[in-house]
Amino acid sequence: MKALLTVLTAAAMMTSFSLAESKYKEGSCCDKAAKKGEKCQHPCCVDAEKAGKVCEKCNKK
Ligand SMILES: [Zn+2]
Ligand SMILES: [Zn+2]
């Protein structure tokens, strides 16, 4: 029971975390990486990230 609670709490935290990271286009490579708690490894996305931006090539509106 305690383990289940831990999982639910972790899931709730992940949800709010990914909501805060919603600057990425839903389903983009960066969005998927962010949801795994990682940064997208695509060179174009890494460059954009360094510049404090979101890669526009992969996150078209
Ligand atoms: Zn990306
Ligand atoms: Zn990119």
Res 7: pLDDT? 81
How far apart (Å, rounded) are the C-alpha atoms in residues 26 and 34?
11
Which ligand is closest in space to the CA of residue 43? Answer: 2
CA of 4 to the centre of ligand 1 (A): 33
Specify the pTM: 0.62
Chain segment 10-28, per-residue pLDDT in tens: 877 766 655 554 689 999 9
If you measure from the C-alpha of residue 12 to the centroid of ligand 2, how many angstroms do you get, rounded to a whole number?
28
Residue 9 Cα to ligand 1 middle (Å):
28
Helix residue ranges, H only, the chain: 2-20, 29-35, 43-50
Structure confidence at residue 2 (pLDDT)? 79
Dump pLDDT digits (tens) for 20-54.
546 899 999 999 999 999 999 999 999 999 999 99
Residue (of 46, 28, 3) closest to 11 by Cα position:
3
Please report the pLDDT score of residue 20 as a whole number.
55
